Amino acid sequence: MPLPPRIEPAEFSERQARARTLAAARGLAGLLVWSRGGHTTDRFYDVHWLTGYTSPFPFIPDGPGWSARSHAALLLPVDGPATLVVDMPAFREDLAVADRFEHADDVAGVTADLLATALPAGRIGVVGADTLAWPWRDRIAERVGDRLEPHGDIGWRLRLVKSPAERALLRAASAIGSRAVTAIMRACQPGATEAEAAAAGIAIVVAEGAALHGISISSGPHAHHYAQSQPAPYDARRALAAGEMARVDLYGSVDGYLFDFGRSRVVGADPTDRQAMLLNAVRDVTLAGLAAVRPGVTVGAVARACDEQWASGALVRAGLAAPTGFAAWGHSTSLCWEEPWITASSTVVLEPGMCLCVEKRQPVAGVGGANFEETILVTETGYELLTTAPRSFS
């Protein structure tokens, strides 16, 4: 299936204009937008959403003559040209949008010098400050003084409502992810390993032109864990056995736009009563949240629908639902997992074009673990379901 067109350069320019407008409304002289690329995909999005650029170089510690490898900086004055500082001398400039490109081995030092020149006075809002390591921030502060301020929320607020081009990419991503998750679940058979099951889905992700961001898979006596705490998140040493639980959460992207959802099953047998209770619980609470989605309601209302369903469900009434450590029923998504988190306290009002992932993962001692997640686009009348994998496997 062909992929949708890439985001047009004009849309990136329009995004930069919106960012400038929001910065000016806060009394800022401009923005310093900082992101990490390389082989990690968790924090590339602030610069990428504004410019279409992500560094392909892996992160390496600072050394003689270089700093902040795998990182990029966008200098965005309220009134002045957009300058993109990159760590690679050769990249697809036809896919990146800025008024000026500056290659730097010393990304932190060159950013500091350029920022001091571009914004000699006024407050500077920093977007992506959590990726700006202490030594790099200090070098920049030496040149611009104490004018740096965190304004990370500018990023997610700008990304919250998706353009038609973004929606097309999100649909394409979830279609690929749905086929991949379905393949993984069907590959969870007696005698197979987690690695073999994961490979069945990862092959689809790559062959269809998407990027793999990560996979969480667990099974059997470890099904209550998110994944094994090793560089490879799938176990290649243990074969799955009939009657045990297996679960997967898969995430990747098309041109950076995410698919993110999961499914669970019992391997090679019908579920026991407690296994069925667990599988039903994570599915039903997710669907209760989806049923509350429509324009004009708050994200908090979606969370409260999940809270009510969970509290009244058989798993909780049976005393089997231990805390999981993730205090949200999901999140907004585009190029990343981000605010608004689906919690009862959220006052963000849903609008058409927002994209949400509603989810629940639950471990139960002596039973296993299960997760269920769906991705949706908010529409004028409710929502469009993007994830189309079967909701149960047998």
**pLDDT tens string 18-53:** 999 999 999 999 999 999 987 777 789 999 999 999
How many Cα neighbours within 13 Å face the side chain of 146?
Answer: 0
Whole-prediction pTM value? 0.95
3-state secondary structure of 171: helix
Domains of the chain: residue spans and CATH: 9-159 (3.40.350.10), 164-385 (3.90.230.10)
The pLDDT value given to residue 394: 86
Please determine, for residue 134, whether its predicted confidence score (pLDDT) is greater than 80: yes
Residue 241 and residue 267 in contact, taking contact as beta carbons nearer than 8 Å: yes
Res 1: pLDDT: 74
Mean pLDDT for the stretch of residues 347-373: 96
pLDDT for the residue numbered 228: 85
Q: How far apart are CA 29 and CA 76, in angstroms?
A: 9
Whether the pLDDT of residue 235 is over 80: the answer is yes
CA dihedral of 168, 170, 176, 179, whole degrees rounded to 10? -110
User: Nearest-CA neighbor of 228 among 195, 261, 276?
Assistant: 195
Instruction: Check: CB of residue 48 under 8 Å from CB of residue 12.
Output: no
Q: Give the pLDDT score at 37.
A: 87
d(Cα 362, Cα 206) in Å, to the nearest integer? 29
Q: What is the pLDDT of residues 53-84, one digit of tens each?
A: 999 889 999 999 999 999 999 999 999 999 99
Mean pLDDT of 239-266: 97
Identify the band that residue 284 occupies on the pLDDT scale cut at 50, 70 and 90.
very high
Cβ-based burial of 367 (10 A; exposed 0-12, middle 13-18, buried ≥19): buried
Q: Which positions ≥6 away from 273 have C-beta within 8 Å?
A: none
Give the pLDDT score at 384: 98
pLDDT band for position 90 (cuts 50, 70, 90): confident
Band the pLDDT of 93: cuts 50, 70, 90: confident
Looking at residue 223, the DSSP 8-state letter turns out to be T
Number of Cβ atoms within 10 Å of the Cβ of 108: 23
Distance (Å, rounded) from C-alpha 143 to C-alpha 4?
A: 43
Q: What average pLDDT does the structure give for the chain? A: 95
Q: 305-346: per-residue pLDDT in tens?
A: 999 999 999 999 999 988 887 889 999 999 999 999 999 999
Q: Which two tokens stand for residue 345?
A: 């306290």
Of 48-57, 157-166, 287-296, which range is least confident? 48-57
Determine the average pLDDT of the residues in 220-237. 91
Please name every residue paired with 71 in a beta bridge, in sequence order, or none if there are none.
36
pLDDT at 335: 95
Least confident residue range of 28-42, 270-284, 376-390: 28-42
Q: What is the DSSP string of 113-146?
A: HHHHHH-SSS-EEEESGGGS-HHHHHHHHHHH-T
Q: Which of 185, 201, 175, 165 is nearest to 384 (CA)?
A: 175
Q: What is the mean pLDDT of residues 346-364?
A: 97
Percent of the chain exceeding pLDDT 90 equals 90
Alpha helix stretches (DSSP H) within the chain: 9-25, 45-51, 107-118, 134-144, 153-159, 164-187, 194-207, 273-291, 299-312, 314-317
